[in-house]
Amino acid sequence: MIYDSQYNRLALLGNDVRDVTLFDTTLRDGEQAPGIALSRDDKVRIASALSDLGVDVIEVGFAASGDTERGIIKSIASMGLSSEVCSLARSTKRDIDAVIECDLGYVHTFLATSDIHLRYKLKMTREEVRARAVDAIEYARSHGLKVQFSCEDATRTDLDFLKEMHIAAQDAGASVINVPDTVGVIYPSAMTYLIGELAKVTKVPIAVHCHNDMGLAVANSFAAVAAGARQVHVCVNGLGERTGNAALEEMALGLYANFGIEAVDLSKIGSTSRLVSRITGYPIAYNKPIVGRNAFAHESGIHVHGVLNNAATYEAFRPELVGVDRHIVIGKHSGAHSVKDRLNELKIKFPDEKIPELLAKIKDLAVGGKEIDDAELMVIADHILWKREDGDHVKLEEFAVFTGKGVTATATVTVNIDGKKRTSSNTGNGPVDAAIKAIRCAVNEKITLEEYKLSAITGGSDSLCEVTVVIKGAFDESRLSVGKAYGLDIVATSVDATMEAINKDYNRGMRE
């Protein structure tokens, strides 16, 4: 179900990448995104979903940040999740004690190593940093904790010193050493070089933690994997500080597509992504890879025709692989194939000769970027199928309405009745009332509005509306006539429905 490029396989030929795992930090780094504050229930639900998804490690928070956080971490630790549960800690005994208090068996310690951090944040020498990192790792190990150690700002750290830190950390007992691109500045080829150099001295697995400040978090993570990294830090939906971290869903699918590594249950990616979006309040961007609304949405007629014949023409993989759905969009760029296919799925028998008229109406309504959903497509098709063939004896040539808060709604119309123009203005209780009254004055003062019905086809604010009017006295004073119209604007649609009702009565009168 992956339709990748053959050049990927050629480029990766001989690259024996295996056993890459995902370290999910949605509940720690992800929560540090501005505006996100997760409750106990929120974290429990997300942790449960991540474990069910199958991530290797869940970083559930920062135990030293307070009693509330420790209580939440302790609750998650007691859930018996299939994933390892870990807490972040600074390289201090106090922070590590907070992790121990939470009944965790895994701690992620960190300490900055770049000269800019040493000088302006820590105000420590390299020797002092190395000693503190080693003391913290040894302290955690003496209490039975598994330790992952991070050289914060590793990608701006002097390479020789970074190698010294890796050697010292692994000698002190660290099980994994992480290479954070803390401010997201490294380039993929540079990451390949850096991991290759560190692999020469690092005997334990190397992890990477990439931020997306330059839009390269996922690319840098893959460059690291190809160079020898065996763990990748990720966040669901690419959440995280500033512009976020490497996205779990993109890393998981890329590992599967390029290396055959199924790091998580791919079929659960879509549901996990949606859950995290709902809980955090961070919407999934329409154009987000893998899980965005547009990831499997096709509107262009050429693309839809190709996908309907063979999905591989315009898709990299099948949507069901990651638990999402394909969506054929009916809109401005739709062609006959997509519209006819959708009508067939809706069980609507629609004549081929009327397809051009249907397409023209769809394109007219979708000029502003609106998508036509199934309910709206059915209404448009229905109106075309039952469209009058008699032509209009009464034509609306001009229409304007003036309205606003504290302003009496006023409408002006010009109609053409069998070649004779009439212009009239009137006021009303709102723009619809004013417009219908102006039409009545221009056509026939004896017209009465017997019934008016407005329906939104869907619940959206950009929904098509359908208006039904019943009038009396357009041509025959005793006869009722029904008019229906649909459109995006309530006032204009009401006018169209009224004009249709008037013409129906005129057409009947002309035939009698």
| Mean pLDDT value across residues 61-68 | 96
For a pLDDT cut of 70, what percent of the chain falls above it? 87
Residue ranges per structural domain of the chain: 19-280, 297-385, 394-511
Best CA proximity match to 313, nearest among 325, 322, 326, 323: 326
Weakest mean pLDDT among 162-176, 211-225, 299-313, 327-341? 299-313
Tell me what pLDDT residue 327 has: 60
Taking 60 as the threshold, does the pLDDT of residue 307 lie above it?
Answer: no
Rounded to whole angstroms, the maximal C-alpha distance in the chain is 104
Query: How many C-beta atoms lie closer than 10 Å to residue 405's C-beta?
Result: 4
Taking 70 as the threshold, does the pLDDT of residue 314 lie above it?
Answer: no
Task: Domain 19-280: give its CATH code.
Answer: 3.20.20.70
| Mean pLDDT value across residues 85-113 | 98
Residue 348 and residue 378 in contact, taking contact as beta carbons nearer than 8 Å: yes
CATH T-level topology, domain 394-511: Double Stranded RNA Binding Domain (3.30.160)
Cβ neighbours for 105, distance < 8 A, ≥ 6 positions apart? 84, 85, 144, 145, 146
Tell me what pLDDT residue 302 has: 46
Q: How confident is the model at residue 384 (pLDDT cuts 50, 70, 90)?
A: confident
Question: What average pLDDT does the chain have?
Answer: 88
Beta bridge partners of 470: 451, 482
Cβ neighbours for 16, distance < 8 A, ≥ 6 positions apart? none
239-257 residues labelled b (16+ CB within 10 A) or e (exposed): bbbeebbbbbbbbbbbbbb
Interval 153-209: pLDDT, tens: 999 999 999 999 999 999 999 999 999 999 999 999 999 999 999 999 999 999 999
Tell me what pLDDT residue 389 has: 56
Cα–Cα distance for residue pair 291/271, rounded to 1 Å: 9
Q: Please report the sign of the dihedral spanned by the C-alpha atoms of residue 274, residue 276, residue 281, residue 282.
A: negative
Interval 442-462: pLDDT, tens: 999 989 998 898 888 766 666
Cα–Cα distance for residue pair 295/270, rounded to 1 Å: 11
Cα–Cα distance for residue pair 493/330, rounded to 1 Å: 21
Taking 70 as the threshold, does the pLDDT of residue 368 lie above it?
Answer: no
Residue 30 and residue 36 in contact, taking contact as beta carbons nearer than 8 Å: yes
Q: HEC string of 269-322?
A: HHHHHHHHHHHHCCCCCCCCCCCCCCCCEECCHHHHHHHHHCHHHCCCECHHHH
Taking 90 as the threshold, does the pLDDT of residue 323 lie above it?
Answer: no
Structure tokens at 358: 């249907």
Cα–Cα distance for residue pair 6/10, rounded to 1 Å: 7
Residue 318 and residue 1 in contact, taking contact as beta carbons nearer than 8 Å: yes
Interval 146-155: pLDDT, tens: 999 999 999 9
Cα torsion at 73, 74, 75, 81 (round to 10°)?
80
More confident residue, 172 or 465: 172
Weakest mean pLDDT among 61-75, 325-339, 417-431, 447-461? 325-339
Q: How confident is the model at residue 299 (pLDDT cuts 50, 70, 90)?
A: very low
Tell me what pLDDT residue 236 has: 98
Q: How confident is the model at residue 377 (pLDDT cuts 50, 70, 90)?
A: confident
Cα–Cα distance for residue pair 258/17, rounded to 1 Å: 10
Query: How many C-beta atoms lie closer than 10 Å to residue 113's C-beta?
Result: 26
Cα–Cα distance for residue pair 330/346, rounded to 1 Å: 13
Residue 152 and residue 181 in contact, taking contact as beta carbons nearer than 8 Å: no
DSSP letter, residue 430: S
Q: How confident is the model at residue 301 (pLDDT cuts 50, 70, 90)?
A: very low
DSSP letter, residue 119: I
Residue 169 and residue 177 in contact, taking contact as beta carbons nearer than 8 Å: yes
β-strand pairing of 146-152 with 327-328: unpaired
Cβ neighbours for 241, distance < 8 A, ≥ 6 positions apart? 29, 32, 33, 211
Helices (H) and strands (E) in the chain, counts: 17, 16
Cα–Cα distance for residue pair 472/498, rounded to 1 Å: 11
Cα–Cα distance for residue pair 285/283, rounded to 1 Å: 6
DSSP of 212-253, one letter per residue? -TTS-HHHHHHHHHHHT--EEEEBGGG-SSTT-B-BHHHHHH
**Vertex 335 angle, CA 332 and 341, to 5°:** 115
